[in-house]
Amino acid sequence: MRFTGISLKYGAGRLLFDNFSLEAAKGQVTCLMGTSGIGKTTLLKMAAGLIRPAQGVISRDEGERLGYVFQEPRLLPEKTVLENVLWVLEQRQEQEQERVLAMLDAADLSAVLHAYPDQLSGGMRQRVSVVRAFAARPGLLFMDEPFQSLDAATRAGMHQLFRKLWESEQPTVLLVTHDLDEALALGTRIVVLGCRPMNILADVTAASVEQHGGTYFSQADQRRLWQLTTGKDGRETDDRKTAAFKLAPSGSSEI
Ligand SMILES: Nc1ncnc2c1ncn2[C@@H]1O[C@H](COP(=O)(O)OP(=O)(O)OP(=O)(O)O)[C@@H](O)[C@H]1O
């Protein structure tokens, strides 16, 4: 999908976008990072057709199915876990049931298929919402800080689940995150955005993508991304160094 020459502002405010362009390559996970309030959510909403830009063009493949995962799960409270997922499949429910059950199993939700959302933990609810998004076979999936409210251990499980589902369905994903380690683990490309108007500060593609294990960005790119997203130089002095650098393939001595 492609944004070309987008301009937009809310009301009498300053321009959030002024002739902004970005292309998300098919089948890639493009992570969007940048400080709060610069318009990342607005960008996803424009991509999904929920907001129209004042100027510019947004191109998507014709007939491409769209999915959206929000920070909060947004499940239907009166439907069970299984019903929440099947509901998005509309008329294809029966043929797809086996596939959906396998996805729910991969998300460790087999034991709660018939539970209602208010009987689940926050992490379980978000797992349902991620499975629901992938179950609909989206060509294009928008994820707006989907794991932000989860604790670190739950988030690590969600990352694994995301990678399993992404590898089997291969949608194009636009994922907004504030967490560089998350972007390094999930993204095949990381775009760091600057503000008012939105501009691209860095655009880095993974050197390789590993099965379920995450992606691998070069050490130089990781350092640059760290500097840009935290304003700090010395990754050595920060605990997050270990978490992100852990993603380097075993045998790498560059750490
Ligand atoms: N419907 C709206 N009406 C007016 N202003 C809005 C509206 N939606 C967003 N804004 C403003 O536009 C700016 C960008 O908002 P947006 O939510 O897109 O940013 P963001 O980068 O996603 O922020 P965050 O990282 O905090 O979620 C903010 O200053 C916000 O207050």
In this prediction, residues 163-184 reach a mean pLDDT of 92
For residues 69 and 113, the answer to whether their CB atoms sit within 8 Å is no
Domains of the chain: 2-65+138-230 (3.40.50.300), 76-136 (no CATH)
Distance 30 CA to ligand 1 centre (A): 20
Which secondary structure element, helix H or strand E, spans residue 180, and what is its range? helix 180-186
Q: Going by C-beta distance under 8 Å and a sequence separation of 6 or more, which residues neighbour residue 9? A: 15, 16, 17, 54
| Residue 76 pLDDT > 90 | yes
Q: State the closest ligand 1 atom to the C-alpha of 145, by its place in the atom list counted from 1.
A: 27
Which secondary structure element, helix H or strand E, spans residue 252, and what is its range? none
Q: What is the DSSP string of 196-231?
A: TTTEEEEEEE-SEEETTTEEE--HHHHHHHHHHHHS
Q: Which residue has the higher pLDDT, 238 or 15?
A: 15
Q: What is the pLDDT of residue 91?
A: 67
CA distances, 208 to each of 130, 216, 230 (Å): 24, 5, 24
For atom 14 of ligand 1, the residue with the nearest CA is 39
ipTM of the complex: 0.96
The model's confidence at residue 207, banded by pLDDT at 50, 70 and 90, is: confident
